[in-house]
Structure 1
Amino acid sequence: MINLPKLNKIDFLVLICVLIIGLINLPFPFAGDQALFTTGALEMQQGKVLYRDFWDLKQPGIYYFYYLAGSLFGFNDIGIHIFEFIYMMLFSITLQLTLKTYFRHQIVASLVPLLTVGVYYIVSYHKQFTQVEGLVSFPLFLCLWLTHQSFNHEGKQRFIQLLLSGFTGGIVLIFKLIFLPIIFCFWLTALLHSILIKQQKAKKIVLEICLPIFLGIIFPILFIIIYFASVDSLAIVYKTFFVYPSQVVANGKLNKSRLISGNLWFLKNFITLIVMAIVAVNVSLRKNKNLLTLLLVVWFVFGLGVIFIQIRSLWIYHYLLLFVPTGILATKGLDILWERFNELSSPIIKILLSLLFLSPLLWNFQVKSIALVKNNFALTEDTRFKYQTVFRGDYKLLRSEIGFLSQPGSLPGAIFVAGDPSIYYFSGRTQATSLNAWSLELFLPDQWPQLLEELDSSKPPYIFITNKYHALIQEKFPKILELIEKRYHILSKSDESESVWYILN
């Protein structure tokens, strides 16, 4: 159906570079989000049902990813990162195989993985790795590329391409429903191209465009619906997907500080790529009207819109949604300027220009590489822990916080943590309630009584609460603190972590 070119020697050299960059990042520590996903995926493996027994606001795609990663390589930071590394290397190969014809110079075409996946690994730290926005880029790109391929075909071939595009689009939505505007605009572009350029009839458009996309997208979504119906959880899934998100946004305010910090982070790390991408858009879109360039611009523009819609979040990792279109367009800009670059007579000027182009990325790569070398490549558990504390200073404190849980005489059973889920990860304890308390500030009014009821019935032997969340609980629903004061007494306080451990009376 689709004839793909073969990889050449330069392709393999670039893939080796990406491989090395990726390997440097394997020992990176978890942040709270990754610890939460790992805890949830581990509970899924133990037979619990997502949303019913372990609730989170996110769609299930990220938990399925961690479940598969943990089942194959272990429910720990190395296991999850190895699976992500394999996933990203497959993505790199896919980029090289699918984008050859997009570039004039094959040496430039080989660089696409370096300026996308390679950049992802260079700019990301513990809070950015294995997040939804980075992982979803693979199926999102496949959806875009298959849509673009359909522009040049008719009949059965086009039907199959758009069927697959719809299927990958459905996978994107399983990761995050809010990405719908991006993939919808991919398909809308194909629809408008058929109407305005090819001037096809309505019947043909419905049969060759709308029908295969619908069939493709409905299959993964139907699979999710059937599964949650079989475990009698459709009601909570519906609320999680459609009711809670709108209420969270309605009850929230724009987080200006995160908006500023996110934009600054993106500009700091991607500024030279953005400049090259602007060159590509100016030449490839304005002068040549390249449809693939148009789809990449659609991805970037609507992706930026999706980021800004999430007014209560606006985390830095959200901007990873843009690393693929930015990297591909930057490579296209390099492709356009390649001949002028080769015309430069002085090799020193070429080197200086190359360093200028890579300068925002070289610092991060240097910091990570030096830390890895200083800690003997993090090959043992001790050296890996030392390496991880370089990038996450509170790792040592978190480990000391949970030391008593593994001591002889400690009470067995699941615990409750109103704070960083890394405590679950380090202690090996599971969560005593279905509701996690990692983002209590996003709790809706009806979730507070549910949390009280679950704490009352589960009676976790230990409860951990940070001072920040203690004040929030006191403000939002003090009955939880009344229950804790009645049934528990303080085991320890920590001024360093600003938290309290409670033990069951």
Structure 2
Amino acid sequence: MTRLRIGAIAAVLLAGVLSLPRPLGGDQALFLYIAKSIDHGSLLYRDLWDAKQPGIYIFYAVAGNLFGFNDIAVHLLELIVMLALAVVLQRTLPDFGFSRRAAALAPIATVLPYYLVAATWDLSQLEPLLGLPLYLGFWTSMRARDSTQHQARWQLAAGACCAIVSIFKLLYLPYGVLFLALSMRRDRRARTAAAWALGFAAAWSPVLIWVLAHSLVHEVWYTWVTFPMTARRQAAQPLSVLTSSARSFGRSFAPVAALALVGIWAHRHRLERWMVLALAWAALALVLDLAQFWWRYLYWDATVPVGLFAVLGAIALADNAREHRRVVLGSLGVVLLLAVYALAPHRQRIAESFPDPTATLRHTDARDDLRALEEPLYGDLDRTLAVLRAPDARPGPVVIFGSPIVQLASGRAQAGRIPGFLANTLGSDEWHDFATQMRSTPPAYVFIGEVQGISESEFLESRGTEVLEILQQSYCGAAHPAAGRWLVQCRDVAQVPGALRRATGNP
């Protein structure tokens, strides 16, 4: 049994090591840039602003301080988290009736698929990172219900785990409510809820103390409550985004989902309480994902419960191999075909990892080729940044209306607190604040590119007219690389809207 455990962990470790040199996507580049700025003394929400809760920035800051502020460091800390999840699953699943063999192999269905089929924009997002605290909240909640002793301690731990999840994303607070509701016993409801609340409050208290200590109550309320209510409406997306992301993730996770359906079917007449809670977890994940921006990385918050049912499905097939040989072989054939289908988009990346799996870690050229393969912007990054690296380039901060990859790679500070990357979510108040920050801290250069195939110029012209006015009056064309266009400050920025236009007589 020890060999099975080690083998499963080794498979996750190998897949994770092969993913270390993979590039950061746009969101992740922004997280790393903000974490690095915080490490250099900037204050989150006041000096630098993003709509996320502080958990993801804490994670990236820890990665940077431990291993360096770069993509490999982020992926390395993520690998440690994933290995911890794999070990925890192996050690705790016997509590739910899993055999030692099934528990030993559980990481193959719950953790390994992430590294095999995750796209660039999936890696190191907060949803896959939350698999560990979500599962710990799930497990401790069930232990609290079933335990005859130390029930309060288990609920205390469950509340703390659920708090960690919400520190990463406040929208995921319903997970904690769900785990609490389905783990409470009628005769101990008040005591159970009190213990859970105490653990929740204890985990949140350092964050709240930090908010109060830096007088950030107004900024935090606006960022966590007010802005999300308007951002979803401002960034309204066509239904094609939902169908595209669902189709993409469905393809990637199809073999695991197929085994999960077998597991659910096999236990349909004898669902245990933990199975009901796991199904509720997966269903709630779908609801919460649909309430957001429909990107495919959001679906990773449901992969642990689906993976657990996939383990049950594999067990059911193994138990019926002799009695229903044809059915089992047919089912395995379908799963195998789905696995080939899921891995097909990643075949070039996987093939290039062999016969030398460490080449992309040891050789800069190989790593650059991998990054360009997964994110074309990296292949054109030198030409994109040439204007900033020229001997006669102007010093000073920049504004990037486009991928934060450009911001991070530029080595320049962001002018103002609001990143241009969020252009599609900004309302009229935020655009006015953006114009104000451009007047108070005029960027030396402005880059206008694309995000998810949509030019940021569209949002400047339709919503950010005050900012567009500043660009038209005070900035001139500097370069036009394939990824977008650069503007350089060529005149003073007027401190009052329309002041320069009135002074020069320009229309």
Q: Same fold (TM over 0.5)?
A: yes
Matched ranges for 1:88-237 at <5 A = 88-155=82-149, 157-191=150-184, 194-195=185-186, 200=187, 204-207=188-191, 209-237=192-220
Deviation at 1:282, TM superposition (A): 3.3
Cα distance, 1:252 vs structure 2: 5.4
Write out per-residue CA displacement over residues 124-181 of structure 1, whole angstroms, 9 at most, x where no aligned residue: 02110010111111101100010011121135x1100000000010000011111122
Q: Does 1:32 align with 2:12?
A: no
Q: Distance in 2 between matches of 1:249 and 1:369?
A: 36
Tell me, in whole angstroms, the C-alpha distance in 2 between the residues paired with 1:305 and 1:30: 27
2:259/2:335 contact within 8 Å kept: no
Query: Contact conserved, 2:402 with 2:447, CA < 8 A, in 1?
Result: yes
Tell me the distance in 2 between the aligned counterparts of 1:238 and 1:190.
31
Partner of 2:348: 367
- Work out whether residues 91 and 103 of structure 2, in 8 Å CA contact, stay in contact via their aligned partners in 1: no
Deviates more, 1:456-465 or 1:391-400: 391-400
Q: Post-superposition shift, 1:454? A: 0.7
Deviation at residue 476 of structure 1 after TM alignment: 1.2
Unpaired segments ≥5 residues, structure 1: 1-6
Equivalent pairs counted in the alignment come to 483
Q: Distance in 1 between matches of 2:290 and 2:80?
A: 31
Alpha-carbon offset, residue 237 of structure 1:
0.5
- Say which of 346, 370, 373 aligns to 1:390: 373
Q: 1:472 to 1:227 in 2, by over 3 A?
A: same
Q: How much does 1:103 deviate?
A: 4.7
Answer yes or no: is 1:341 the counterpart of 2:321: yes
Give secondary structure in 2 for the equivalent of 1:126.
Answer: coil
Would the alpha carbon gap of residues 461 and 99 (structure 1) be closer, same or farther in structure 2, given more than 3 Å must change?
Answer: same
Report the TM-score, using the length of structure 1 for normalisation: 0.90
- Report the secondary structure of 2:480's partner residue: strand
Determine if contact 1:59/1:176 at 8 Å carries over to the other structure: yes
Partner of 2:363: 380
Name which structure has the greater RCO, CA cutoff 8 Å, separation 6+: 1
Compared CA separation, residues 362 and 164, structure 1 to 2 (3 A): same
Aligned partner of 1:446 in structure 2 is 429
Post-superposition shift, 1:225?
1.3
Q: Which residue among 439, 456, 460 is the counterpart of 1:473?
A: 460
Aligned amino acid, residue 248 of structure 1 = A
Amino acid at match of 2:189: I
Change (3 A) 1:365 1:393: closer
What per-residue deviation string (whole Å, max 9, x for no partner) do you get for residues 308-359 of structure 1?
111xx1001011111111111111121222222366889x959857734643
The answer as to whether partners of 2:254 and 2:339 remain within 8 angstroms in 1 is no
Structure 2 residue identity aligned to 1:170: A
Which residue of 2 is the match for residue 488 of structure 1? 475
Q: Secondary structure at the match of 1:16?
A: helix
CA separation of 1:32 and 1:321: change in aligned 2, threshold 3 A: same
* 125-134 or 356-365: bigger deviation: 356-365
Deviation of 1:254 after TM superposition, in Å, equals 5.5
Which moved further from structure 2: 376-385 or 66-75? 376-385
Partners of 1:105 and 1:335 within 8 A in 2: no
User: Does 2:439 match 1:426?
Assistant: no
Identity, % of aligned positions: 26
Q: What residue number does 1:4 align with?
A: none
Do the aligned partners of 1:38 and 1:66 also contact (CA within 8 Å) in 2? yes
Root-mean-square deviation (CA, aligned residues, Å) is 2.3
AA in 1 matched with 2:167: I
Q: Distance in 2 between matches of 1:133 and 1:443?
A: 23
SS at match of 2:260: helix
Give the letter aligned to residue 14 of structure 1: A
Equivalent-residue separation in structure 1 for 2:324 and 2:269 (angstroms): 25
Contact between 1:57 and 1:240, CA under 8 Å: does it hold in 2?
A: yes
Rounded Cα–Cα distance in structure 2 between residues aligned with 1:459 and 1:228: 29
SS at match of 2:73: helix
Aligned mates of 2:129, 2:92 — CA distance in 1: 19
Give secondary structure in 2 for the equivalent of 1:287: coil
Unaligned runs of 5+ in 2: 492-507
Instruction: Quote the offset at 1:227 in angstroms.
Output: 0.1
Tell me the SS of whatever aligns to 1:341: coil
Q: What is the CA deviation profile of residues 352-391 of structure 1, one whole-angstrom value per residue up to 9, with x for unaligned ones?
A: 5773464344435643221334897212222210121111
